[in-house]
Amino acid sequence: MEPTAATILSSLTNPSITDSDRDLISRAFDRAKELHQGQKRKSGQPYFFHVYETALTLARWGMDGTTVAAGLLHDTLEDTKYSEKELTKEFGKEIAFLVSGVTKIGRIKYRGNQAQAETLKKMVLALSEDIRVVFVKLADRMHNMRTLSYLPLDKQRRIATETAEIYAPLAYRLGLGTVSGELEDMAFPFLHPEEHRSLKKLLQAVLPHGETYINRVKEKITEELAQQKISVIQIDSRVKRISSLYKKLKRHEMEIQKIHDLIALRIIVEKVEDCYAVLGLIHSLWPPLPGLIKDYIALPKPNGYRSLHTTVICLDNKPTEFQVRTAVMHHENEYGIAAHWAYHEAKGGEKKETIFADAHRLSWINQLKQWQHEINDPDEFISSLKIDFFKDRIFVITPKGEAVDLPAGATAVDFAYAIHSDIGDHCLGAKVNGRMVQLDQELQSGDAVEIITQKNKRPNEAWLNFVKTRHAKARIRSVLRSHEVLPQKTLTFVITALDRVGLVKDISSIFSTQKINLISLESSPPAHGSLVTIKAVVSNEVQNKADALALRLRSIPTVQRVNYRHN
Ligand code: MN
């Protein structure tokens, strides 16, 4: 089909598009077409087709007029004689900024090993300055991936690696769940050709049975929903993406038979209340598998994803996953930007400012900015990016109910440092879901974490062995360096007690009323019955008080035994 400006204009989904936006897009269309005249892609298609597809994608994602126009012009600086000066004069500073940002990012050639530190850092800087640069780049990459097979093999590999390791995670973090998945799926066959072939075969063998089964479940649930008079917009099923199936199989060393969400049923309803009603109905029909009920409505994923998930023992005793969400959530999960972003005119000025409708959803951007100030070494910054930013994430909850975004494997100490450096520095103990835990225990998504701090407490060198975030590591090192603490002689109290609410508080208050600072306070989970062992470490300076302290500790209700030793 011949590209036309009218096709782009009719694909715009952003509700706040104005007539001048339309005019801008039409002008950009004409100029880009003229500038790329005669150029061809490796696929043999006219070059203009590529920028046209990029703009169409941006229009469908709900981007503003400026960004769609920038999509049309995104390759003019790199691939035509058009200069930045001419671009600025004809289309204004904003578009020139976006296009030159995309051009700069395009020059970074990520190969997955050597850190192209400075350049990648610039990309992140551009990202936090005007994130629309990244949207244009993502739309550009979508089309490039679709035509990747026309490129020479070594280029295919490099671009696929970059897509899987940089752009797909970025898209995910921006709330473009579907885009992220599509990018990963498109990169997968280039990166793992053999696994791709065998997984495809495996899926083809399993899926036909899956579909008849899913249809039976669909019938049953439709009938029940009608009986309960819950109105449903749509019930469909989604097949797990091949790239995400691969990751899951690898992560858990599983057989395909053990994967319960190969096909999931997706129920789309009108109102949020209906989501919970449907979940209740599902659970009344089939027993849920413990630990697999996920309420991403009350607690959205860090990228804004909202839905209810549950896996139940369904027909034929088969574990089956259900996803329940409203139509609005469904749209946001797929192409969340328009919904997450609001564009408004800054008062009194011409400058168009981009703000988040819900800023804390993307608070990681601010985190990045903060890290840039704290970490000066570019190499270290890049490795912190790889560890903290691109890897799998978990989210845990503060006592105030705020979600904190951490890398998988993070511990309470990482959490403490993510909240505030001060809290990390003075972290004494931690409670997870109301129970005291060891500071090195790995946190799980959804954990409610509370940090117990104490004034004169300092970071412990041993923390360096288990903290996961670079931020925590860097901070602990710098505090240790600044104090050059000599190994301290300590006194450890080992308290055995029946676990109960308030036990830990009673123990720590014995020390605080004596004005004794605890170096650490850790409890091991009940080994037999509900007996817990709590270790309280204090400085050896108080050794003359050891017996008196042991006696006081012994007098705490439910405490059965108190021992102490000098270290
Ligand atoms: Mn391009």
Q: Which of 178, 166, 173 is nearest to 61 (CA)?
A: 178
Taking the centre of ligand 1 as the mean of its atom positions, its distance from the CA of residue 39, in whole angstroms, is: 13
Tokens standing for residue 363: 């608070």
What is the DSSP secondary structure assignment for residue 502, as one 8-state letter? T
The C-alpha atoms of residue 242 and residue 250 are separated, in whole angstroms, by 12
Taking the centre of ligand 1 as the mean of its atom positions, its distance from the CA of residue 1, in whole angstroms, is: 20
Tokens standing for residue 452: 């117990």
DSSP 439-468: TTPBP-TT-BEEEEE-TT----GGGGGT--
The pLDDT assigned to 43 comes to 87
| 3-class secondary-structure state, position 125 | helix
Phi-psi sector, 304: left (phi>0), alpha (psi -120 to 50), beta: left
DSSP 294-321: EETTTS--TT----EEEEEE-GGG-EEE
At 138-180, the pLDDT tens digits run: 999 999 999 999 999 988 998 998 888 878 877 776 667 788 8
Q: Which of 456, 427, 476, 481 is nearest to 539 (CA)?
A: 456
Does residue 278 register a pLDDT over 70?
A: yes
Q: Which range is most confident: 20-29, 173-182, 350-359, 384-393?
A: 20-29
The residue behind tokens 């062995």 is 465
Average pLDDT over residues 26-48: 94
pLDDT grade for 103, boundaries at 50, 70 and 90: confident
Q: pLDDT higher for 239 or 111?
A: 239
- Portion of the chain with pLDDT greater than 90, in percent: 33
The C-alpha atoms of residue 101 and residue 561 are separated, in whole angstroms, by 66
Does residue 560 register a pLDDT over 70?
A: yes
Taking the centre of ligand 1 as the mean of its atom positions, its distance from the CA of residue 69, in whole angstroms, is: 13
Phi, psi of 141 (to 5 degrees): -65, -35
The residue behind tokens 């590209």 is 3
The C-alpha atoms of residue 436 and residue 440 are separated, in whole angstroms, by 12
Taking the centre of ligand 1 as the mean of its atom positions, its distance from the CA of residue 9, in whole angstroms, is: 20
At 517-554, the pLDDT tens digits run: 888 888 777 666 678 888 888 877 777 788 888 888 98
Taking the centre of ligand 1 as the mean of its atom positions, its distance from the CA of residue 136, in whole angstroms, is: 9
| 3-class secondary-structure state, position 560 | strand
Residue of 75, 78, 211, 379 marked catalytic: 78
Does residue 71 register a pLDDT over 80?
A: yes
Least confident span in 113-127, 159-173, 206-220: 113-127
Does residue 431 register a pLDDT over 60?
A: yes
At 246-269, the pLDDT tens digits run: 888 887 776 777 777 888 899 999
The C-alpha atoms of residue 56 and residue 11 are separated, in whole angstroms, by 7
pLDDT grade for 430, boundaries at 50, 70 and 90: very high
User: Is 79 labeled as catalytic in the residue annotation?
Assistant: yes
Least confident span in 127-131, 204-208, 410-414: 127-131
Taking the centre of ligand 1 as the mean of its atom positions, its distance from the CA of residue 172, in whole angstroms, is: 21
The pLDDT assigned to 484 comes to 62
Q: What is the 3-state secondary structure (H, E, C) of 341-392?
A: EEEEECCCCCCEEEEECCHHHHCHHHHHHHHHHHCCCHHHHHHHHHHHCCCC
Residue of 2, 23, 75, 79 marked catalytic: 79
pTM for the complete prediction?
Answer: 0.59
Does residue 76 register a pLDDT over 70?
A: yes
User: Is 402 labeled as catalytic in the residue annotation?
Assistant: no
> At 493, which amino acid appears?
F
Asked if residues 532 and 514 have their Cβ atoms less than 8 Å apart, the reply is: no
| Burial class of residue 337 in the structure, from the number of CB atoms within 10 Å of its CB (0-12 exposed, 13-18 middle, 19+ buried) | buried
The residue behind tokens 């930007």 is 337
The pLDDT assigned to 353 comes to 34
Mean pLDDT of the residues in the chain: 81
* Beta-bridge mates of residue 308: 295, 324
pLDDT grade for 499, boundaries at 50, 70 and 90: confident
Taking the centre of ligand 1 as the mean of its atom positions, its distance from the CA of residue 142, in whole angstroms, is: 10
The pLDDT assigned to 141 comes to 94
Taking the centre of ligand 1 as the mean of its atom positions, its distance from the CA of residue 105, in whole angstroms, is: 11
Average pLDDT over residues 114-132: 52
The pLDDT assigned to 491 comes to 86
Least confident span in 228-237, 295-304, 386-395: 386-395
Does residue 351 register a pLDDT over 70?
A: no
pLDDT grade for 16, boundaries at 50, 70 and 90: confident
Does residue 281 register a pLDDT over 80?
A: yes
The pLDDT assigned to 330 comes to 87
- Portion of the chain with pLDDT greater than 70, in percent: 81
pLDDT grade for 339, boundaries at 50, 70 and 90: very low
Taking the centre of ligand 1 as the mean of its atom positions, its distance from the CA of residue 140, in whole angstroms, is: 5
